[in-house]
Amino acid sequence: MTNKNDLEISCALPIGQYDKIVMAHGGGGRLMQQLIDNIMLSAFGDSSLKEKNDSAVLPEQSGRLAFTTDSYVVNPLFFPGGDIGKMAVCGTLNDLAMSGAKPLYLSCGFILEEGFAIESLQKIVQSMAQQAKAAGVEIVTGDTKVVEKGKGDGIYINTSGIGVLETTLNISPSRIKTGDVVLINGDIGRHGISIMAEREGFHLEEPLESDCADVSGLVADMLEAGLDIHCMRDLTRGGLATALIEISVAANKHIKLQEADIAIPKTVRSVCELLGLDPYYVANEGRFITILPAHQAEQALAVMQAHPLGKNAAIIAQVENAESGLLSIKNKIGTTRILQLLSGTQLPRIC
């Protein structure tokens, strides 16, 4: 018998003896401590998490703060191009970036369903850790709850985030002006359609991956270039159309999209046609729009295209005067249609 085995036996109920989550993993006792020590702390590494206090204490920050929260309930948990863990970290980093903030700290709250495979949890946590490390942010505080089988769906994750605004820019729809242009950092529809295809077991001719990515580095480049960004928004639930409709209403402007300038992957287009979906409303997880003065458009485009997550950036719309918010799109034969807020969603649980 090796030393390693001795150690395991001396510890009454090592996590290694469980391959599924049991209710006691959420009970605050020894099993929960082992779960947190062996799965969460071993992945998230050195940080104030290790102190296991009720709160993380963080150094003073100079500058305004950004604060955001998102719960992730995506189904399936693993999909081409990512998993719920990668998404939970990227999504919250992106929300911070959209306000012009540099992401610094994340929290994570897990709601685990009894019976969830510990191997899957491990993969998801490692994916979160990897993504946070790549972005240079720390996961500093967390929480784990367990609910009975049939009261959850494997795992739900909440990530909240704190960032600091190193810019004095006020990034808000209220700053949008007539004559501004709208840029996007790439094509649309990859996330929603890849989730949908995975869920429904579609066999796609050309493989499609989610665009799930942390765009905060790209946004940092744009801020560093001194662009006078008026508004940014990531294009998650509800896609490009929903984000721009909301912005047009908040700004009281008419935003005019040009269909010819918006890239839609062939597979996204085919699946949308097959199912009667409108790709402008399909969710993305690594795409965002930026609205800024027209005279900075070319400079912005150059900065974006120099970054891997912006290499297919394009100018897709102009902002015009309006009595009330409006989003329209002109197609390739010159006809214009109005895009309206859908009642609900085309595809549930894509984030």
> How near is the Cβ of 289 to a second copy at its closest, in Å?
12
Which CB atom, from 71 or from 270, has the smaller least distance to a second copy? 71
* The binder of a second copy chosen from 15, 140, 196, 255 (CB under 8 A): 140
With CB under 8 A, what is the number of residues at the site for a second copy? 87
CA distance 24 to 15: 12
Residue 29's contacts (CB-CB under 8 Å, 6 or more residues apart) are none
CB 309 within 8 A of CB 185: yes
Secondary structure E strands in 187-265 = 231-234, 253-258
- Tell me which of 110, 184, 188, 194 binds a second copy, using CB under 8 A: 110
Q: Applying CB under 8 A, does 54 fall inside the site for a second copy? A: yes
Q: Exposure of 93 by Cβ count < 10 A (0-12 exposed, 13-18 middle, 19+ buried)?
A: buried
Pick from 14, 18, 20, 33 the residue near a second copy by CB under 8 A: 33
Give the span between the Cα atoms of 110 and 85, in whole angstroms: 10
Binding mask 172-211 for a second copy (x = CB under 8 A): x---------------------------------------
C-alpha 265/C-alpha 27 separation (Å) is 47
Binds a second copy by CB under 8 A, chosen from 17, 42, 61, 312: 61
Q: At what angle do helices 84-98 and 118-135 cross, to 10 degrees?
A: 30
Site for a second copy in 62-101 (CB under 8 A): 62-73, 94-96, 98-99, 101
Structure-token match 């369903």, residue found: 113
With tokens 């993305």, the residue in question is 284
Q: At closest approach, how far in Å is the CB of 275 from a second copy?
A: 16
Count other C-beta atoms under 10 Å from residue 313's C-beta: 22
- DSSP class of residue 117? B
Residue 85 or 152: which CB sits closer to a second copy?
152
Rounded-to-integer distance, Cα 282 and Cα 284, Å: 7
Binding a second copy (rule: CB under 8 A), the pick from 186, 217, 238, 286 is 238
Hey, which residues between 258 and 317 contact a second copy (CB under 8 A)? 283
Closest to 35 in 3D by CA, of 49, 21, 55: 21
| 35 forms part of the interface with a second copy (CB under 8 A) | no
Span interacting with a second copy, options 18-26, 82-90, 121-129, 292-300, rule CB under 8 A: 18-26
152 is an interface residue for a second copy by CB under 8 A: yes
Q: How far is the CB of 120 from a second copy (least distance, A)?
A: 16
Nearer to a second copy, 146 or 262 (CB): 146
342 is an interface residue for a second copy by CB under 8 A = yes
